Amino acid sequence: MEFFIEARDAPGNASRLPDTPSVDDPDRSTFVYQVDGSALRGAIPSYRLVLTRAVRQELAARSQTSNLLLPITVVVDDDEVRHRAWLRQRGCLCSRGLIQPPIWRLKVGAEDPLEGPGGLGGREEINLDNQHADPTNLRDRITYHLMRRLGSVPYADSRYVRVYRNGVFDKVYEDVDKVDLDYVEASFADSSGPLFKVDGWFEFPTPASATCGSRGP
């Protein structure tokens, strides 16, 4: 269900939430709400992603190279509702659209207009990785555990989460910290200098073709 809240005082002054248009959220004209009994509280937290039909159609139709965040609602277990949230696919450009369920970048507002201050554990952006190349879902977790045990090696914090889209269970994902300026400032005494990212390589010899992959040492 899509909804908005409008209030009007005695002199006739009106205010609407969400604002239309809003400078910081121009693509959201309504909030979204869904009732379902699919996500139950358990040892693994549940993230319910609620997407409008328009957002689902946009994700299916647009270019796989698009990094534009689209408005959604996120429900964490039964405790936290984030109406001001955004979603996009992430990962290697040649695998977007092929990996199912997708790998996601999830962003939430630092302060929700209906729920107040919050975020996902104080974080505004996270990665939802489905570990498609590792059916055990253990390799990353073991790596982060070993780095944590070493003590002096920065690592991305992570946890398992059950992800639902519009009431339908996708799979158990990893909620992984996004490596950005906030991460660097929290992990290093000196946050200045370049931040390098290891990724695949991409070749576009003609407008109609593309090749991507990775090379070992």
**Local mean pLDDT, 10-residue blocks, the chain (217 residues):** 86 81 66 73 86 90 86 86 88 72 86 60 83 83 86 83 92 87 80 76 57 49
So what's the pLDDT on residue 21?
A: 56
Look up residue 62 and give its two tokens. 């647009």
Q: What predicted TM-score, i.e. pTM, was given to this entire model?
A: 0.78
Look up residue 139 and give its two tokens. 């390799």
So what's the pLDDT on residue 216?
A: 42
